[in-house]
Structure 1
């Protein structure tokens, strides 16, 4: 009886470990925009605060930021953080996989861009774990049915309005997609491999 129990426990551990490794990252909340951090001149970790200018809560390395959001924005670009709120020159940013946030004062060499401006002209893909019913191109925002997209189909975003973006798929087809869902989670990412 004991060898059976031991085998069962090992099997359960093996299955749960492989399931965790295969699960794609959870789609993050979009917030209000993106902060691109120039790593030039950043020698120490970036300090974050619990409230703007009050109570340092933690610090984050630029290499950790690249690891955190590289899958979303691409490894080649400067490290980027999702911005959830803004108060003057202070930005609230998500700094780990659990969605914890802290406040950071925007420096001159860093670029904060609200989503509608950030999306314009970007190449995007639907994230792997986006719901199938939302990975389609529609003739107009809110239309009941559209054309489903193939996995890893790149789209060029022409303009964004609210949760919707007008995209160009190729020279002959364009339409509307949702770039974030009704809960505010991203449906698209920007780590688009360039054609060689």
Structure 2
């Protein structure tokens, strides 16, 4: 006589697992941020914390349509892509109008205008990339892991991993880079949609790979 198995426990288990399987991707990837025109650096200096986090008004348009205040709690995390000094919190800047900056202030990509009052609040990508080390981000399409002879030119080499490069020059969406063993060429740092393709590394020598 065959043993009888109750279907109730199986049904209960499936009812618990199905919502998790339907909402949790097997290979969750971080969304690459839009690069915009540069980065606003929120200082962590004690004398500026209140101004930076508590009293920096956020507007729909410069000085019009108050949205609230810029909050560090809702800012997109960029530390995995921008190896900047820990004394600053980076915020992507999409546009500039005089002293006003249009920034991305949450993970949903919503934007608003702020008017920072401290010095050196904004750096363009040309300034950020100057003599810095960069590395291609993980999980990109194969075509972005290539060095080129010139922007939009012929590919020189396909990168087998994610090597470290030193930036020599910025030209639009492209970086003139030099890597280990003097490997040199042009690397695309921003894709056709305006999203980041490389991450800035903390200052160090050009050596080794991850």
What interval of TM-score do these two structures reach, taking the shorter chain for normalisation?
0.7 to 0.9
* Deviates most, 182-191 or 52-61: 52-61
> 2:3 matched to which residue of 1?
none
> 1:183 matched to which residue of 2?
193
| Selected match of 1:140 from 131, 146, 150 | 150
> 1:70 matched to which residue of 2?
79
SS at match of 1:177: strand
Distance 1:151 1:8 in 2: 40
> 1:106 matched to which residue of 2?
116
Q: TM-score, normalised by structure 2?
A: 0.79
Distance 2:123 2:189 in 1: 16
Contact 1:85/1:92 (<8 A) preserved: yes
Alignment partner of 1:7 is 2:16: no
* Deviates most, 110-119 or 165-174: 110-119
Q: TM-score, normalised by structure 1?
A: 0.84
> 2:28 matched to which residue of 1?
23
Distance 1:98 1:191, change over 3 A: farther
* Deviates most, 35-44 or 162-171: 35-44
Structure 1 or 2, whichever has the larger Rg, is: 2
Which consecutive unaligned segments of at least 5 residues does structure 1 have?
Answer: none
Distance 1:59 1:6 in 2: 46
Alignment partner of 1:37 is 2:42: yes
SS at match of 1:117: helix
Alignment partner of 1:81 is 2:91: yes
* Deviates most, 51-60 or 91-100: 51-60
Alignment partner of 1:54 is 2:64: yes
Taking only aligned residues, the RMSD between alpha carbons, in angstroms, comes to 2.6
Distance 1:75 1:141, change over 3 A: closer
Contact 1:154/1:192 (<8 A) preserved: no
Q: Size of the alignment, in residue pairs?
A: 194
Distance 1:192 1:128, change over 3 A: farther
Q: Greater share of helix residues, 1 or 2?
A: 1
Distance 1:178 1:36, change over 3 A: same
Contact 1:39/1:62 (<8 A) preserved: no
Alignment partner of 1:117 is 2:124: no
Distance 2:132 2:202 in 1: 10
